[in-house]
Structure 1
């Protein structure tokens, strides 16, 4: 049976807020603030300053509402949420147990859930903490405006929940949602996102109205999972349970969707694929306004809230903001999955200034010529990594998190004609402002590994190395010099 983290999972957003308050790491803002630009501006400045979460207690024109932001304020925030500073250990434990199971053993059992101990991390039915509120509509929810030229107010960290019509697998994803009026909003799901792919399955069945729920204010581990590139086919509720070490409490709605039982706000209705409207512009994580484009409209049917609700928002813009730290945690947690798909992979770095899908640096154990390009092709065929615009591959002795070491490897090991690879008409991030015809653009691969004879036509030159005896004596003398210098 699998062993999971001993970290106590948070039941809901409120338990997390109380936890941070007891640690002295919650900033309670008593000044009255507006959802129109002010909350977003304060949040961005707080994230840049590495301040902990903010709880806005007086929101102009929205009495009885509180707003929380900056939950993912640094990589430290993810250590607090998951109870470990070695995030890859969460998925390593799961995968090691999975890979050690013999196939013949699988053939003999009736329930994979039982043999893997997944019962503990599967969602569990629990009565909801929220109640229906007939007097609420979309305009009475404290959605925020992030940048001056945004098309309007947006839900910025709400979770859109859909269910695969063929497998019943639930998907939880963070899409920006533009409020139009009391009953309508636009869901910004890009063509390759799980929500849009689920919608296509409904369309193939002749269904154009997709049942969805949009929830706000959940345990941060659930919010993180929703923002993560969990492989297609894996139920995000189960994956969140693996990260938390225990299953999520869920409640079933009238439209047969499961939502977290302790959500602060739940909006239910359907996305009408026959009603496409211009969404945007919106200032996104690239630091530019995304031009307006057509996306489907969400039609609100019911609103549920908790008493004295707490609304979760984020503010995006140039890095490093909250999405950068989510990206760094994704890098660590999903590294074991990437190693399973690319066995020679040693480590990876998705730099916070690389915009998550902009630049990826990967170190490999190199065994044969042409291996770096093979790794690039494998990575470009893997989930969210397929969106990477630039991939740099280095040898295993290069620390991918030390940019200077990476620059050295590029400068010393790369012949541009031989080692730089440009691929045209490939899938890219639709939000990339440099792409003329999204979602198709070009990609760049840089092979910064040392080359085999077959790759460059001659032997790679020998690296300089110190004489060990001389180096040991030099260290002894130098240590004496340093001590004398420090005490003088």
Structure 2
């Protein structure tokens, strides 16, 4: 499925009868966030708010990622793995690593239809538009103010020219200034360090809001370093993203509803927060750099895209499930014994990950843990559970059984201290350094246990057949009370 822009997606959902249009007047101060959260919890389809108090001529869209079904609609398939499987199958068999495969992508696919394409913009410069005139929302009562919650921050690597698109929360300070919450290990922050190394303190940045949901998903995804996110969005869309070059040499989606162009002053950091985040707690104030607005662009009758975060499962949880499915083939290429993975909605995406493997040798589960903790966003996982390939990782009861039956805590629990964690984790005393837990819930080989693993019980096939016949008769006769 390919959408030209956010409006194309909205019309698609309207035709399906899956768009909720709200005509009641609502406030950006807590009301939109509360309505959105409750709608997401109830798996209601996207909400289009048509009357925003104090923001005449604006509309707000929220709850686009309302459940796993929303991803099936956006990508046009209920088997999300097929998207990346198709992409990987197009790569040459000659490169032997993922990096080699990425580098060979241009040669294999040429500069074909997945590459970004220069197009005239749908937006126009608006000299009267400033940050305070944008309907950014306040999500929780004790938030520091109004935030852009589903805007995309666009930067460019000064060495490679690769564009990065990421979703960071943006706290509005005044008409021309805002705070960008990029954590130390995020691409934006890492790119900022490259600018500083070159002695450049004014880093070009564009903040866009209201684009094709596939681009939003890409911005929120852990795309491998070295791969331009515009190109990855092209892979997911099946065709390149229409882009326009701004005066600061950044490419932005041509059909964005709002574009804020300027720079981040790397010498100007101020206290950001508190903010009620996806962990369900307020993030304490901390210092982050200031974005300084130079030019603003807007479409006629703009539609602003927001999300409401809090305790799961909200929109970020369903994006996480999409990432889980789409990136599984990439993970299998790096960890060949990997069978399946589950990033549970209530596991906070970076909190708990469950992985099944085909086990061949002693110590394999811990080796897999180390590999997973070295992979992009998975490096933030606080707890990794490894189970055998016959365990359904999406059935929590099967996973609990594996832990209860297969784990000796002294041997199979692995605690690693002073490693990178999610800095939003409220349990970590000195973020971003914390600890990690690995649980090897696989059946143990003789080398790991010192003796043979006991034989698993199984029924006699003939007895099973007879038992099923008798029980089927009972059910048909309705003898069950």
**Shorter-chain TM-score range:** over 0.9
Q: Does 1:384 align with 2:377?
A: yes
**CA deviation string 1:73-102 (max 9, x = no partner):** 000000000000000100011112214357
Q: Indicate the residue corresponding to 1:188 in structure 2.
A: 181
Q: CA deviation at 1:481?
A: 1.5
Match of 1:442 among 418, 435, 442: 435
Structural mapping, 1:290-309, within 5 Å: 290-309=283-302
Could you give the per-residue CA deviations for residues 256-304 of structure 1, whole angstroms, max 9, x where no partner exists? 1000000000000000010000000000000000000000000000000
Residue 21 of structure 1 is matched in structure 2 by 14
Alignment of 1:40-439 (within 5 A): 40-100=33-93, 113=106, 115-439=108-432
Whole-angstrom distance in 1 between the partners of 2:105 and 2:336: 25
Deviation at 1:222, TM superposition (A): 0.2
Structure 1 segments of 4+ aligned residues over 4 angstroms from their partners: none
Q: Residue 120 of structure 1: SS of its match in structure 2?
A: coil
CA distance in 1: counterparts of 2:247 and 2:271, whole angstroms: 30
CA apart distance, 1:119: 1.1
In the superposition, the TM-score normalised over structure 1's length comes to 0.96
| Aligned-partner SS, 2:232 | helix
Return the alpha-carbon distance in structure 1 between the equivalents of residues 468 and 109 of structure 2.
Answer: 52
Contact 2:154 2:205 in 1 (8 A): yes
Cα displacement (A) at 1:482: 1.4
What does 1:467-478 correspond to in 2, within 5 Å?
467-478=460-471
* Partner residue in 2 for 1:4: none
What CA distance in whole angstroms lies between the structure 2 residues aligned with 1:423 and 1:252? 45
Q: What are the Cα deviations for residues 459-485 of structure 1, in whole angstroms up to 9, with x where unaligned?
A: 100000101111112112211211112
CA distance in 2 between counterparts of 1:112 and 1:98 reads 7
Unaligned runs of 5+ in 2: none
Number of residue pairs the alignment of both structures matches = 476
Tell me, in whole angstroms, the C-alpha distance in 2 between the residues paired with 1:100 and 1:56: 49
CA separation of 1:336 and 1:486: change in aligned 2, threshold 3 A: farther
C-alpha distance in 1, partners of 2:449/2:360?
15
Are the counterparts in 1 of residues 474 and 480 from structure 2 also a CA contact under 8 Å?
Answer: no
User: 3-state DSSP class of the match of 1:119?
Assistant: coil
Change (3 A) 1:144 1:406: same
Structure 1: unaligned runs, 5 residues or longer: 1-6
d(CA) in 2 for partners of 1:291 and 1:190? 13
SS at match of 2:178: strand
RMSD in angstroms over aligned alpha carbons? 1.4
Residues 362-386 of structure 1 show CA distances to partners (whole Å, capped at 9, x for unaligned) of: 0000000100000000000111000
**CA deviation vs aligned residue, 1:336-385 (integer Å, no higher than 9, x gap):** 01001100000000000000000000000000010000000000011100
Write the distance in 2 (CA, Å) between the matches of 1:132 and 1:464: 71
User: In 2 relative to 1, CA 50–66 (structure 1 residues): closer, same or farther, beyond 3 Å?
Assistant: same
